[in-house]
Every structure is written in C-alpha cells, then in structure tokens.
Amino acid sequence: MIKRHTIASTIMIIAICTIIGVFFWISYQRINEVYRDETRITITKMRKLFLKDTVNNIIQDITLDRKKERDYYQKNIDKRYETLLSGQNLPEKEYTDYFKRWFASDYSRDINENEWTVFLWNNSSKKVIYDPADIVKKDINENLKTVKTQLLYYRIITHGPIYGLIGVSRKYVDNKVKEAAADKIRNMKFGNGSYVWVNEIINYAGGKDYAIRRVHPNLPQTEGTYLSTDMTDIKGNRPYAQELAGVKAQGELFFTYYFKELNSDDVSEKLTYAKLYKDFNWIIAMGIPLDDIRQYIDHTNAKSMAAVRGQMITLVALMIIFVAFSLFLFLSLERLYTKDISRQMELEMNKDVLSKAYSRRFGTLELVKEFKEFKRKRITDTAIFMFDVDSFKGINDNFGHDVGDKVLIEIVNRVYQVIRSSDCLIRWGGDEFVGIFHGLKEENSVYTAEKLAAAISDLRIQQEKEVISPTISLGIAYFDEKDESFEEVIKRADAAMYQSKKEGKNRVSLYREPFSSSM
C-alpha cells in the first residue's frame, strides 16, 4: 500500500514537474517574444522621436535665421534710405553721384545674385540715370513693376524729378540662408551612422530629375546630383517615390529603405524621417540604421537564455513545494488588497466623498492636462467655469452643516443633469466648484452658464417647514497665451465669479480684458 502510494506520489511529482517545466518553458518563450517585440517598438519610438526632433529643430533654426536675415536687410535699406534723405539739399548732379557712391560695386545682370538692387531714373523724362544691373530693357514702369515682385523689401526715394529704388532680392536673401543652413547640416555630427541630408524638389509631379541633392554629408561628392522617383534601393524599393508621395500628402513621413554601408559590402535597413520645408522646396531628412536594435535584442536574449537554463531545475523544485498554496494565498490576498487599494485610490483621487463631483486633486491633474493641450494646439475652445453657492454661510448657520451638505449634493446632482458627459465638474473647496467644458467657444459660454445657473435657481429643497432655494454666482474664463500655468485661468474665473457676486449674485460674468473686480 505504501509502495503503491509512493510510486503514485513519485509519478505525480514527476508529472507535475514535467507539466510545470513545459509550462514554464513555453511561458518564457512567449514572454521573450513579447519582450523582443516591445523592446524593438520602444527603441524604434525613441529613435523616431529623436529623428523628428532633430529635423524640426533644424527647420526651426532655418526659419529663425531667415527672419533674422530679412530683418537685417529691411533695417539696412531703411538706414540707407534715411542717409540718402540727408542729401536732399544737394543739386541733382551731386545727388546722383552721392547715390551712386552708396551702391558702387560689381553688379550681375541677375538681380538675385546682387546684394543690392538699385536703380536711378528721371521720372519726368523717363531717362535712366544709373542702372548697374541693366534692369531696364524697354519701358521703365513695366520693368520696375516686374522687378518689385522679385524684391523682398524696397524703398523709393525722390529728389525732385529724380527717383531712386533701393531694395534686396528675395531669392538673394533666401540663397544666403540656404548656404548657411547647408554648411550647418554638413558640420552636424551624430553617432550610429546617422546624418541629415537635403533634397530640393524641382518637380512635385516626380519622375526623372524631379529633385536635386543639395546636402549629403556622407556622400559629399554626390551633391548637385539629379534624382529620380524611379531610383531603387538594394531591395528594389523606391524610397524617393515614397518620400515624395509622403511629403506631398502630409508634409512629413517615416519610412525605411535599404542601403549599402559606406566602405563596406554590408546591407543595412535605415529608419528615416523626412519633412518638407515648403518655402525652400527642401525635403530635410535624417536616418538611423536599425541593425543595432536587432543586435542588442539578440545579445540580451542570449544572456537571458543562459540564465534561464541554469535556473529551471531549481525553479521547478521550489514551485512543486509551494506553488499551489502560495499561488492561492497570493491571489486571494492580492485580490482583496487590490480591491481595497483601488477603492481607496478612486475615493481619494477621483471623487469627492460628499458631493460625488470630482476631487480637487483629480481636477488639478485635468487642468494641467488641459493647459498643456492648449499650449500645444493654441486653440481656445475649453471654458473654465467657477461658481459657489450664494449665501452658503447663511444656510449653514440657519439650518446646520448637515443641511448645507445636502444643498451641495442637490446642486451637484442638478449640474450633472444639465452638463454633457464630456464636461468635468470639480469640487474645488467648500462650496466652490470648477467646471471644465470642452469645445465651448466664448460666444456660447455665457448662454451655457446662464442655463446652468437657471437650473440651480429652480431647485427647491424642503427642510422641515421651510424651503431652501439656492442660487450660484458663476465666472467664466479661458486660457491665454500669456499664461504660465493653469492657476492663472482659475484666478480669472474666480475674479469673474466675484464680479457676479458684486453685481447682485445669481449672475454670470465672462472674464474679458480689461477686467476689474472688487474682491
């Protein structure tokens, strides 16, 4: 009997060990697959963010440099204009020489290659006096009309019948910014074989010679090469066609292609982010190889497998002893603990225990999130309401705090009957409440607030032989671009609320600049 029991127990233990071992091994394999996938996804997301931020920073720098360069030439032209005005008392001949001296230099026939575009003529006789770039071909007025469209900025100065034009070509300034930006990009240094390159679109329809390679730090000898959307990578993909289609449709895109590594026969896959800078017709792109991600995952997986093999026997033995009891006990305690913690967290973080409105802590997190969203999108369509109960202290004094609590509960219930499910009501403190109303534009805010106030004023709360008819004073405010934090919109809503009280209570006030409130 004992032997049979021992054999049965041994067989059972072996069976359990086998089942647990197989289960553990299969589970490990599945977990390992998930780990590999999640690691790859996470690293890829991080690299995408790095690529996108780098390209966007370059575009931001180009935009700032372009503005600085334009401002510089506008100020320079204005200064020269003011200087030329100081010679108004000179005779015509001397004034003409004075004008020429300010702009004496070698001029190209293409105004886009000249730093200054200048022209002096007699407006009465229509005679050309000074035209170093040979602007005038036939009719002065027609030529000037054409030239002005090419200028970024210009001024016309007069001296009696003598007229002078001073300006700078838009293309000259842009070409200057392009050259500076190209030099910056060539000098950028990144690890992991990453670099930034620029292709300039000539024909948005694609095809042969649709673009020209402007900057390529890894292959500088290819700069100036014309590109075709029919070009393929090592695997036969058409990355230029994909890139052009993406920037035309969305202005930016992520894509991958295969390339042969420099000074090597190895073929690697590269993750690329490309964005169109429309003002220059530039596609600014940055790529990073993906092979090192696979190498990292494979290396980590090999180390993990070695550790697992050494631990399997120990784990199986330990699991046989306590797995059933420990698992049952753990799951039971965990279930009870999780329920208790979840209940406490929800009670503490999300809901106000008395009124069932959202708690101030939860509301603060929501306001921070809404403020960040406003700063990101710059769209003012979220109204912030603040209201409190008029003469609430009198209700507490006359009827007691229990009745005051009942009034707050009834008010919150009525508010929830009026507002949308997407709106958020927060108990800010005492009898003060804050509301977040998404998609509520300023022109509709007062109507909505008055509707809410009217719903509250319709309340009739029976208290023994007396009826309590609560009202609220409500203030409305919106986020402003000058705000540094969400607290500032709360202050404005608070100021508007006190304005409502000042004007007689049971009212609604919308905060608009300038705004004054006696508090």
Q: Where are the domains of the chain?
A: 188-289, 360-510
Q: Is the dihedral of CA 162, 163, 168, 169 positive or negative?
A: negative
Q: Which CATH superfamily is domain 188-289 in?
A: PAS domain (3.30.450.20)
The pLDDT, as a whole number, for residue 312 is 65
Instruction: State the DSSP code for 338.
Output: H
Query: In angstroms, how far is the first alpha carbon of the chain from the final one?
Result: 92
> What tokens appear for 194 in the block?
């990453």
Dihedral pair phi/psi, residue 378, rounded to 5°: 60, 35
φ/ψ of residue 257, rounded to 5: -150, 170
Same fold, 188-289 and 360-510: no
Distance between CA atoms of 456 and 507, rounded to whole angstroms? 11
307, two tokens: 């550790």
How far apart (Å, rounded) are the C-alpha atoms in residues 492 and 515?
A: 9
pLDDT for position 19: 81
* Cβ neighbours, 10 Å, residue 272: 20
Q: How far is CA 43 from CA 31, 109, 112, 302, 334, in A?
A: 18, 54, 46, 19, 33
**How many H-runs (helices) and E-runs (strands) does the chain carry?**
11, 17
Please state the φ and ψ torsions of residue 212, each to the nearest 5 degrees.
-125, 140
Per-residue pLDDT of the chain (519 residues; tens, 9 = 90+): 455 656 776 787 777 767 876 776 787 677 767 777 888 788 889 999 999 999 999 999 999 999 999 999 999 999 989 988 888 889 989 998 888 888 876 566 566 677 888 889 999 988 988 888 888 877 888 888 888 999 999 999 999 999 999 999 899 999 999 999 999 999 998 887 789 999 999 999 999 999 999 999 988 999 999 999 999 988 889 999 999 999 999 999 999 988 776 666 677 888 999 999 999 999 999 998 887 777 777 777 677 666 766 776 676 667 667 555 554 554 555 566 667 766 666 656 689 899 999 999 999 999 999 999 999 988 888 999 999 999 999 999 999 999 999 999 999 999 999 999 999 999 999 999 999 999 999 999 999 999 999 999 999 999 888 999 999 999 999 999 999 999 999 999 999 999 999 999 999 999 987 665 443
* C-beta of residue 316 within 8 angstroms of C-beta of residue 17: yes
Phi, psi (5° rounding) for residue 266?
-70, 140
The CA dihedral of 251, 256, 260, 266, to the nearest 10 degrees, is 160
Amino acid code (one letter) for 351: K
Q: Which residues contact 122 (CB under 8 A, 6 or more apart)?
A: 129, 161, 162, 163
CATH topology for 360-510? Alpha-Beta Plaits (3.30.70)
